[in-house]
């Protein structure tokens, strides 16, 4: 079992980070009034941990018996029938899913599945909860139509079914949905907190962790606890006992993007653009989100640039990332960004150095 | 199931609708027994009582029983394309009026309430034109929207228009105090001011925020809780970003924005705060044109965020534009 799973706090009162939120949530459950909830915050901040702990607080240990199901949902539309396949994680009390996985048909999934859940009220009334919980991950990736149809469904079926949602980019969740939820902000742990967690896990695993290594892991993780723990585990596999100057292994794709960035800086020519394009494709076929690629790439480029060009590079990145959201094929926009950046950079360097 | 306070304390009669005197006067006259109610168009910012007023008229005209058959309410979450206008709405509008119930005015027409009408397509609106006239003997329409400019002119000219004003501080305070006494909530010092600040004249938002705060922290409401629940960005975060913008160092804004994102502050709220800070402070030696430049960047970023662009990149871009403006004019 990975350390992130092994040491994930299971209960609200066992939380180490975000204790305040945990206290508030257990108060909420104690009053029996459990509204629709929306957790938002950066990745690796503990949204999922909070959700799992919240479910356990509501339903007790039964919520941990989870079965995974991939089942086709037959949906009858007025004009035609469609069939979508969706993986759900469910216990007796809750269903968890990623409705954005089905792409543009997400609206029907939202409508059908919530309706189906709401129709069958939970049988076991000993648990004294008259409602089920539907956990929706990544609601920010749902289409606007799907979110709009959540709106009415949330009100209509709120007696039998509560929604618990999580997202990173809260701007993409439409206001009417937000205003129907209790919004809970989950902040990323500070570097010191990440270090504290690393020390905690190291102690449980009875490892001795030098401070300088834990500091470097925490910094490299960019306040993402999940990444920090994974990195620590990688370090453990690579070499134990730890040495203070041990290298912290970054993920493959990060190294690859660093490589692309230095390629771009070395030479600005159509030929190099062609090579970079190949590398970008390589990243895309490995299912990295294009937004992440572009963000990481521009952050790497910024490190290597003079102040004057930094502003330009950033403006370009913001512009092309926006276009990427509007457009269909990410590769065009990634490539356009690289081409435009190359030309701007070349012009600047000719101006500056002749 | 605990009812949302927004629904629980919705005004039950037209006269309870707060702060909209002209509207209330006109509607009460119509209620006083004369059967003459024009088609209505309510417009105004969110949370000012438009839907409440429409629902209250319906209830007062027909009473709880007849409302089910005489009133049709459609909002943006229902399908409202041209097909629905042609079949459902037209069918309902054309139907004859049944018998009346004692104790209520029960005028001889039906009511169709189209909530959030500005999100209807102009095709669908056009399809309504003739329907409104042809069945005006038996049907009245109520359109509710935020932007009157999105209602096509032929529809708007067939209606009596009412503008709903944003609620002033003390009127909102009255309503909130009323709810607080009913629910046994005590407001800490400064909570009321904070609440009206974060809600910006939107009563619904104020009530929802209050209820969420009470759910989380119990019946003693402190300003900090309200800010947290409303997702408002504390001043400290904004001023950290702005001082980074003044510093003329790109690395500084990069760290400031990375921190703000890691703390999970919503980017759109950050934009609002930056705008407020920029506009409220006019003796900081920033030229008017530089200020306007920053506002342009803010607007572009907001549009991009609504389209789903990355929060970090957009915020960084705004910060970089702000930095350029501030440092060029300093």
- pLDDT at position B2 is 63
- pLDDT at B89 > cutoff 90: no
Name the CA dihedral angle for A207, A208, A212, A213, rounded to a multiple of 10 degrees.
-30
Q: Are residues B104 and B224 in the same domain?
A: no
pLDDT for position B234: 82
Quote the ipTM score.
0.84
Using CB atoms, pick whichever of B250, B261, B264 lies closest to residue A185: B264
pLDDT for res B137? 83
pLDDT digits (tens, 9 = 90+) for B187-218: 877 888 888 888 877 888 888 888 888 877 77
B197 and B267 inside one domain: no
| Residues in a beta bridge with A184 | A39
Interface with chain A: mutation pick from B244, B309, B318, highest number of A CBs within 10 Å: B309
Residues B219, B263, single domain; the answer is no
Look over chain B and give the mean of its residue pLDDT values, rounded to a whole number: 83
| B31 and B105, same domain (yes or no) | yes
Interface test with B, best of A132, A150, A290, A322 (most B CBs within 10 A): A322
Helices (H), A41-143: 47-59, 106-119
Say whether both B17 and B64 belong to one domain. yes
Query: DSSP E strands: which ranges in B96-177?
Result: 110-114, 139-145, 160-163
Residues of chain B neighbouring A31 (CB-CB closer than 8 A): 215
Residue ranges, chain A, pLDDT below 70: 77-79, 118-129, 152
- Which residue shows structure tokens 């500091």? A215
Determine the Cα–Cα distance for residues A344 and A337; give it in Å rounded to an integer. 10
What sign does the dihedral A283-A287-A290-A294 (CA atoms) show?
Answer: negative
Q: Which two tokens stand for residue A144?
A: 């606007």
Chosen from A171, A221, A222, A291 to mutate, greatest number of chain B CBs within 10 A? A171
Of B59, B24, B60, B19, the residue nearest B40 (C-alpha): B24
Q: Specify whether B200 is located in the same domain as B267.
A: no
* Last residue of one domain, picked from the residues B230, B249, B275: B230
Within 13 Å, how many C-alpha atoms sit on residue A166's CB side? 19
A27 touches chain B (CB under 8 A): yes
Q: What are the pLDDT digits (tens) for A274-316?
A: 999 999 999 999 888 899 999 999 999 998 888 888 989 999 9
| Chain A residues lying within 8 Å of B249, measured CB to CB | 307
CATH of the domain at B253: 1.20.272.10
Summarize pLDDT for B210-267 with one digit per residue, the tens.
888 887 777 788 888 888 777 778 888 888 888 888 888 888 999 999 888 888 888 8
Question: What pLDDT is recorded for position B176?
Answer: 87
Q: Which pLDDT does position A315 carry in this prediction?
A: 92
Q: Is B198 on the interface with A (CB under 8 A)?
A: no
B53-62, B92-101, B105-114, B296-305: least confident range: B92-101
Which residues does chain A have within 8 Å of residue B294's beta carbon, measured at their own beta carbons?
none
Whether chain A has a CB inside 8 Å of the CB on B1: the answer is yes
With an 8 Å Cβ cutoff, are B307 and A317 in contact? no
Residue B29's pLDDT is what? 79
Residues B134 and B175 in one domain: no
Find, among B146, B62, B137, the residue nearest to B93 by Cα. B137
Query: Per-residue pLDDT averaged across B90-100, rounded?
Result: 80
pLDDT at B1 over 60: no
| Cα dihedral sign, B164-B168-B170-B172 | positive
Q: Are residues B137 and B27 in the same domain?
A: yes
pLDDT at B19 over 80: no
- B241 and B225 together in one domain: no
- Rounded to a whole number, what is the largest CA-CA distance in chain B? 76
Band the pLDDT of B34: cuts 50, 70, 90.
Answer: low
CA B63 to chain CA centroid, nearest Å? 27
CATH value at residue B20: 3.40.50.300
Q: Which of B180, B195, B230 is the last residue of a domain?
A: B230
pLDDT, chain A, mean? 85
Taking only residues 256 to 275 of chain B, the set having a beta carbon closer than 8 angstroms to any beta carbon of chain A reads 258, 261-268
Q: Supply the range of the domain harboring residue B103.
A: 5-163
CATH of the domain at B212: 1.10.8.60
Contact B266 A148 (CB under 8 A): no
* Per-residue pLDDT at B186: 84
Chain B environment of A27 (Cβ under 8 Å): 216, 218
pLDDT tens for B156-181 read 898 888 888 888 778 888 888 888 88
B204/A295 Cβ within 8 A: no
Query: How many domains, in total, are found in chain B?
Result: 3
Of chain A residues 242-281, which have a CB less than 8 A from chain B? none
Residue at which a domain ends, from B118, B141, B163:
B163
Closest partner residue to A41 (CB to CB) among B264, B309, B320 is B264
Please tell me whether residues B31 and B159 are part of one structural domain: yes
Report the pLDDT value the prediction gives residue A270, as an integer from 0 to 100. Answer: 92
E strand segments, B5-107: 40-43, 71-74
Cross-chain CB nearest to B263 (options A187, A325, A326): A187
Q: Which residues of B touch A183 (CB under 8 A)?
A: 212, 229, 231
pLDDT of residue B314: 93
Which position has the token pair 């370090």?
A235
Q: Are residues B186 and B220 in the same domain?
A: yes
Q: Are residues B116 and B182 in the same domain?
A: no
């Amino acid at each position: 079992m990975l350390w992130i799973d092994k040491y994930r706090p299971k209960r609200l009162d066992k939380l180490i980070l975000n204790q305040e939120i945990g206290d508030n949530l257990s108060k909420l459950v104690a009053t029996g009034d459990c509204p629709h909830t929306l957790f938002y915050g950066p990745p690796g901040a503990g949204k999922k941990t909070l959700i799992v702990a919240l479910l356990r607080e509501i339903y007790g240990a039964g919520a941990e018996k989870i079965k995974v199901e991939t089942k086709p949902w037959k949906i009858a539309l007025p004009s035609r029938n469609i069939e979508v396949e969706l993986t759900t994680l469910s216990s007796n009390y809750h269903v968890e899913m990623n409705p954005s996985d089905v792409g543009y048909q997400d609206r029907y999934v939202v409508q059908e599945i919530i309706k189906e859940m709401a129709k069958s009220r939970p049988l076991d009334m000993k648990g004294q909860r008259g409602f089920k919980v539907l956990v929706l991950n990544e609601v920010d990736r749902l289409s606007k139509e799907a979110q709009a149809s959540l709106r009415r469904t949330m009100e209509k079926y709120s007696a039998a079914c509560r929604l618990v949602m999580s997202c990173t980019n809260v701007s993409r969740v439409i206001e009417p949905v937000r205003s129907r939820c209790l919004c809970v902000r989950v902040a990323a742990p500070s570097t010191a907190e990440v270090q504290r967690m690393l020390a905690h896990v190291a102690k449980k695993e009875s490892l001795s962790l030098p401070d300088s290594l834990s500091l470097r892991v925490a910094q490299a993780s960019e306040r993402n606890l999940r990444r920090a723990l994974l990195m620590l585990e990688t370090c453990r596999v690579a070499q134990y006992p730890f040495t203070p100057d041990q290298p912290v292994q970054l993920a493959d794709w990060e190294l690859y993007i660093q490589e692309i960035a230095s390629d771009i800086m070395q030479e600005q020519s159509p030929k190099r653009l062609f090579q970079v394009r190949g590398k970008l494709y390589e990243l895309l076929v490995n299912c990295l989100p294009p937004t992440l690629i572009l963000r990481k790439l521009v952050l790497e480029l910024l490190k290597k640039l003079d102040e004057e060009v930094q502003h330009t590079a950033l403006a370009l990145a913001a512009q092309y990332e926006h276009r990427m959201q509007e457009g269909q094929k990410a590769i065009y926009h990634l490539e356009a960004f690289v081409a435009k950046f190359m030309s701007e950079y070349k012009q600047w360097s000719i101006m500056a150095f002749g | 199931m605990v009812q949302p306070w927004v629904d629980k304390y919705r005004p039950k009669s037209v006269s309870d609708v707060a702060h909209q005197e002209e509207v209330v006067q006109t509607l009460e006259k119509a209620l006083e027994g004369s059967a003459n109610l024009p088609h209505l168009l309510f417009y105004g910012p969110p949370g000012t009582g438009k839907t409440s007023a429409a629902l209250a008229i319906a209830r007062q005209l027909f009473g709880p029983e007849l409302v089910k058959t005489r009133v049709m309410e459609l909002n943006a979450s229902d399908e409202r394309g041209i097909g629905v206008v042609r079949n459902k709405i037209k069918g309902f509008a054309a139907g004859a009026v049944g018998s009346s119930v004692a104790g209520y005015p029960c005028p001889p027409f039906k009511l169709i309430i189209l909530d959030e009408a500005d999100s209807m397509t102009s095709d669908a609106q056009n399809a309504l034109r003739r329907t409104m006239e042809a069945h005006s003997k038996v049907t009245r329409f109520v359109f509710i929207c935020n932007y009157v400019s999105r209602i096509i002119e032929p529809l708007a000219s067939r209606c009596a228009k009412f503008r709903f004003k944003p609620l002033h501080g003390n009127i909102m305070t009255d309503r909130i105090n009323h709810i607080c006494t009913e629910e046994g909530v005590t407001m800490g010092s400064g909570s009321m001011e904070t609440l009206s600040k974060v809600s910006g004249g939107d009563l619904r938002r104020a009530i929802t925020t209050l209820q969420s705060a009470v759910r989380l922290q119990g019946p003693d409401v402190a300003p900090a809780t309200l800010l947290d629940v409303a997702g408002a960005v504390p001043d400290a975060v904004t001023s950290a970003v702005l001082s980074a913008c003044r510093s003329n160092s790109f690395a500084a804004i990069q760290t400031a924005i990375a921190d703000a994102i890691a703390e999970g502050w919503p980017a759109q709220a950050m934009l609002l705060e930056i705008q407020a800070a920029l506009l409220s402070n006019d003796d900081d030696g920033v030229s008017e044109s530089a200020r306007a430049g920053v506002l342009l960047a803010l607007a572009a970023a907001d549009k991009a965020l609504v389209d789903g662009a990355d929060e970090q990149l957009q915020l960084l871009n705004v910060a970089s534009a702000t930095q350029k403006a501030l440092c060029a004019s300093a």
